[in-house]
Amino acid sequence: MVTTGAPEDAAARRVIAFQKRTCIAGRGTSVEIDVAAADELPPGTMKLVPAGPGRYVGVYNCAGTLYAIEDRCSHDDGPLCEGDWDLETCTVVCPRHGSAFELATGQPRSLPAYLPVETFPVHVVDGMIRVDLDG
């Protein structure tokens, strides 16, 4: 298990700069956010990024594959990405009640959660990790 420290306090999280991009790429308009340079998120690390007012997304590098998952447990709306995560199974565990979620699909793997959480496509463009919020 990898333990992540608590993210910056609420005031600091509100001032973290992020970019929204409107992209027209054959499948319509989408909103993307820049996360970090690809070399700033090596395997075994996670970054919590703002994705709009009161919305956050956890971006994980699990064994070289990038995943993005909403920072909200479907069981009680708790801060999912503040929990531990497992590098072997690519799951994150809610710190409140222990539900595990697959990073790839958002599907819960244990109770008390039984509904999935939202996941988002992640890609690297010109060395920058981006999350497609409309994915």
In order of their start, the domains of the chain are: 10-132 (2.102.10.10)
The pTM (predicted TM-score) of the whole model is: 0.79
Q: What pLDDT does 113 receive? A: 97
The residues of the chain scoring below 50 in pLDDT are 3-27
The dihedral through the CA atoms of 21, 24, 30, 33 has a sign that is negative
Q: What pLDDT does 21 receive? A: 38
Angle at 68 between CA 35 and CA 23, to 5 degrees: 60
